[in-house]
Every structure is written in C-alpha cells, then in structure tokens.
C-alpha cells in the first residue's frame, strides 16, 4: 500500500455509486492531466486546455480500442476541490467501463484513493478547515431538512468563523500576558485584568452555548430514536405503522408476535424520527422471545423518547419521569373500542392506532421534544462528537484560567491555561492536528469522497 500522506501521488476513484445511468471517476494529483491524456482522445490534449472546461471524447485502451464515449471536466491547480490538477470523467454507468478506466489509469501510474482521500487532500492543501471537511461527509449523509441545514452551515464555515474569532482573541490575550514576562522586572500589566476577566467570561459563555447545542445538534444530524414499549398486543406495531404511514411491522392478534425490534423512520417538521417497535417487556420462557425482550431494553436505553403504550381497559403506566436525555410519552390505545377512563393524568394521550384518532396529536408531541424554534438557517449548532469533546476540554481549561486569575497566579501560568483553550479550539478546525485524528476522521469517509 502506498503512503497516503504522500500528496505527490495521483489518485483515482469513482465519485458515484454503481447502478446509475452515468458514473463519475475522479483523478487528482500532479500527473492527473498527463495520465488522462494517455487514455482520452478528444479534440485536443487536455494539457493544452484551460481549467474549468468540459471536453467530449473517447476513452481508449492500450490498443486504441474505444472503451466509452465520455465527457471530461478539467480543473487546474489550485482551482479544484483538492487544490491539485483534477480530471473528472463522466462515463456510462457500467461496472465494466468503470473498472477498465480504473485499470488503464492505474497502469499509467495512478493509485486507488483511500477513503476520504480527496477531502483529506483538500484539507491539507488549505482548501477547507477540518470542521468543514467533516461536514462534507455529513452533508452527503443528510436525510432531512435539519440534518442538511446543520451540515451545510458547518460546510460553509459559519462554525469555523466563530471558533477562529474566539481563538484569535485568546491568542491576542496570550501575547499580551507573555509580553508581561519580558518586562517582569518592571511589574507592568499589559493585559488589563478586568478586561481580561470579562473577555474570558464572554468566551466561556460562547463555548457553553456551543456545547449546550450538542443535544439538539445530535438529534438534528442523526435523527431522534423513539422506542415504543408496552405489553404484547397493545398495538405497538399498529402504532408504528400509523406513525410512518406504511406497512412496515407485522400486525397480528397473537400476543408476542413482534419478537424482534422493528425500525422505521419518518420526518416531522424537518427532523428525522427513528421508531423502534419493541418486543414488549414481559416474562417469557421462549428463548427467542427473551432475545427480543433484551433488545427492547437496549432500544429503551438508546432512545431519546419512549412512548409507553397501554390500552383503555388497563391504562397503567410504569412510574418514569423525563430526564435531560429522555422524554416519556404516555399513550392509551384502542379508544375506538373502549372509551378512555376519566382518571388519566392530563398529559396522557388517547389514541386509536387502528383508526388514526390522536396520531396527529402524538406527532405534534414528538415534534415538541425538539425545539428548533430558535434556529434559523445558518444557526451554529454542534453536531459532531469530536467537536463536542474538544469544546468540553476547552471549557475546562478556561475554567482553570479563570481560577488562576481569581487566585492571582502569575501571567505565565495564566497564559498556559489560555493556550490550552486555544489548543482545543484549534483541534476542531484543524489548526492543531495529528495524523491519528486525521486518520480516524477520513477513514470513515467513502472511497471517492
């Protein structure tokens, strides 16, 4: 395997998945144009063409046999996604044609790209910072209005700009503090302590605001897990079908039919909800059923929302309360056959999964758990675990800087803490980075991204 840190290599990979009418294969690196000219027969060689141009022609093999008619897009360094010369070849969506093209290019010296390598090169060439590069993967994976919105804000750099300005401010403070060291004999304060304290507090509250947006950001990006739990036959599968409006779960009259967990998703107000219809929690001697019940416990542990379902003839609920991480919604089903008892607590919803009564109210209740009202297009929300962890570290370092100030510690110790804050903020945008971090980020990308 070649060393993927060596950005001199010219890399190649399909940028689209097989099965469509056309495929795009991307070739990028110092030799991209030269390699492409070896395979491509157009009006004139690509080496004589300008960047940002399209060229119609043929791909030929070693014996000049035509493999396909193609359109080539030419990007010249540094004006390309990766910053290197890049050729994007649009060909007919045949696996044979694609593999022939890859083979021919590899014979001429191109190497198959590693996962995420195009984006990694874009980052290393300074075309985008790390948080923007990560957003490329998120935007491709986005499946709802809000997951798209969060990723697209991050990709356009709204988030990076905010972090960079915080970092710049902190670096300015550090240099003032460090200047004091040079004049330590004279006991001067270049960084006015009151202003310094106010600035640190302001930055602290900005970091706090970002970290506290993580729960929402995670929900918007990944969707919200909802577990539907209740005794066998209360109507969990029927409810799941009603919520997602399609026949995904198996509905039957035999108690315990839903042995396994069944998943289906739906979008409410631009947010993705992932429902898990569980096996229900009851005691059983059936081994297979017990496995389903174990999965139910796991589904509940992973859920942000738990819908507790009972029927009107037995409307009892386990005593569970909302927590920071989990909402509970109590629902009485089958009110079409048995009227709901008057003794229910006011927050209990009465529905008929079968006839559709109350389903809309339940969807509204689900939507109300995710507060997007304060978010506009372009709002900065943290949705990435790595960023969240770095922000937490930054906040800890900031707290220790504030304590250092309160205790009147000397400026060198103070500036050391502030530099740690700078370090962690820089980890997010990639000013500070290690090969391990880059590897763990880009190895999760697909090949061709």
Burial class (CB in 10 A: 0-12, 13-18, 19+), 391: buried
Tell me: does residue 257 bind ligand GDP (CB under 6 A).
yes
Q: Which is nearer to ligand GDP, 132 or 236 (CB)?
A: 236
Q: CA-CA distance, 12 to 46, in Å (whole number)?
A: 17
What does the DSSP 8-state code read for residue 90? E
Rounded to an integer, what distance in angstroms lies between the CA atom of residue 447 and that of residue 449? 6
Q: Quick one: which segment of 18-26, 162-170, 329-337, 396-404 binds ligand GDP (CB under 6 A)?
A: 329-337
Name the phi and psi angles at 385, rounded to 5.
-60, -40
Shortest reach from residue 267's CB to ligand GDP, in Å: 22
Q: Does 328 bind ligand GDP (CB under 6 A)?
A: no
Contact call for residues 131 and 437 (beta carbons, < 8 A): no
Selected range binding ligand GDP among 119-127, 217-225, 346-354, 416-424, rule: CB under 6 A: 346-354
List the structure tokens of 167. 């970092």
Q: What is the nearest approach in angstroms of ligand GDP to the Cβ of residue 171?
A: 58
Residues 3-22 that bind ligand GDP (CB under 6 A): none
In DSSP notation, 213-224 reads: THHHHHHHHH-E
Binders of ligand GDP in range 237-256 (CB under 6 A): 237-238, 251-253
Q: Is 234 in the site for ligand GDP (CB under 6 A)?
A: yes
Total residues contacting ligand GDP by CB under 6 A comes to: 20
We find the least distance from the C-beta atom of residue 264 to ligand GDP, in angstroms, to be 13
Sheet containing 224-229: order of strands: 262-268, 271-277, 224-229, 305-311, 327-333, 349-350
What phi and psi values does residue 26 have, to the nearest 5 degrees? Answer: -110, 135
Task: Tell which one of 233, 266, 415, 429 touches ligand GDP (CB under 6 A).
Answer: 233
β-bridge mates for residue 26, sequence order: 13, 88
Binding status of residue 352 toward ligand GDP by CB under 6 A: yes
Query: What are residue 23's DSSP bridge partners?
Result: 91
In this structure, the strands spanning 349-350 and 224-229 are unpaired
Give the span between the Cα atoms of 201 and 194, in whole angstroms.
11
Does 336 bind ligand GDP (CB under 6 A)? Our answer is yes
Q: What angle do CA 96, 101, 107 make, to 5 degrees?
A: 125
Considering only 57, 116, 223, 235, the residue that binds ligand GDP (CB under 6 A) is 235
Segment contacting ligand GDP by CB under 6 A, of 46-54, 134-142, 230-238, 432-440: 230-238
Q: Least distance to ligand GDP from the beta carbon of 252, Å?
A: 5
Q: How far is the CB of 365 from ligand GDP (least distance, A)?
A: 17
Compare residues 12 and 340 and give the one whose CB is closer to ligand GDP: 340
Decide if residue 261 touches ligand GDP (CB under 6 A).
no
Residues for the chain: how many in total?
A: 449
- Of residues 293, 303, 353, 438, which one binds ligand GDP by CB under 6 A? 353
Stretches 55-63, 347-355, 386-394, 429-437: which one binds ligand GDP (CB under 6 A)?
347-355
| Residues at the contact surface with ligand GDP, assessed by CB under 6 A | 230, 232-238, 251-253, 257-258, 333-334, 336-337, 352-354
């Amino acid at each position: 395997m070649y060393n993927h840190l060596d950005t001199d290599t010219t890399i190649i990979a399909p940028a689209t998945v097989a099965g469509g009418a056309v495929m795009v294969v991307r070739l990028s690196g110092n030799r991209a144009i030269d390699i492409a000219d070896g395979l491509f027969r157009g009006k004139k060689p690509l080496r004589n063409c300008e960047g940002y141009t399209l060229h119609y022609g043929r791909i030929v093999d070693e014996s000049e046999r035509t493999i396909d008619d193609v359109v080539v897009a030419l990007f010249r360094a540094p004006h390309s996604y990766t910053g290197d010369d890049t050729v994007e070849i649009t060909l007919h969506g045949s696996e044979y044609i694609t593999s022939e093209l890859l083979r021919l290019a590899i014979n001429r010296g191109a190497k198959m790209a590693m996962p995420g390598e195009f984006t990694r090169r874009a980052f290393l060439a300074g075309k985008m910072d790390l948080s923007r590069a990560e957003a490329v993967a998120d935007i491709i994976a986005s499946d709802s209005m809000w997951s798209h919105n969060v990723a697209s804000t991050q990709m356009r750099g709204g988030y990076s700009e905010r972090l960079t300005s915080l970092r710049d401010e902190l670096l300015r403070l550090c240099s003032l503090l460090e200047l004091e060291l040079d004049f330590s004999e004279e006991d001067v304060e270049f960084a006015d302590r009151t202003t310094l304290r106010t600035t640190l507090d302001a930055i602290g509250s900005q970091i706090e605001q970002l970290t506290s947006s993580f729960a929402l950001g995670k929900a918007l990006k990944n969707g919200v897990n909802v577990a539907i739990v209740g005794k066998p036959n209360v109507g969990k599968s029927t409810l799941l079908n009603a919520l997602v409006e399609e026949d995904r779960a198996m509905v039957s009259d035999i108690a315990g039919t839903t042995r396994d967990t069944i998943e289906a998703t739906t979008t409410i107000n631009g947010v993705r909800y992932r429902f898990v219809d569980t096996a229900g929690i009851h005691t059983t001697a059936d081994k297979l059923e017990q496995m389903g019940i174990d999965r139910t416990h796991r589904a509940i542990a992973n859920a942000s929302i738990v819908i507790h379902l009972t029927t009107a003839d037995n409307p009892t609920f386990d005593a569970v309360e909302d927590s920071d991480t989990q909402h509970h919604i109590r629902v009485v089903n089958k009110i079409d056959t048995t009227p709901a008892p008057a003794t229910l607590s006011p927050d209990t919803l009465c529905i008929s999964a079968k006839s559709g009564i109350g389903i809309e109210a339940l969807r509204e209740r689900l939507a109300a758990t995710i507060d997007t009202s304060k978010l506009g297009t372009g709002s900065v929300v943290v949705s990435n675990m790595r960023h969240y962890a770095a922000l937490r570290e930054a906040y800890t370092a900031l707290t220790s800087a504030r304590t250092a100030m309160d205790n009147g510690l000397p400026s060198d110790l103070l500036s050391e803490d502030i530099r740690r804050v700078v370090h962690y903020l820089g980890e997010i945008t990639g000013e500070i980075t290690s090969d391990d971090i880059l590897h763990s980020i880009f190895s999760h990308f697909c090949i061709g991204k």
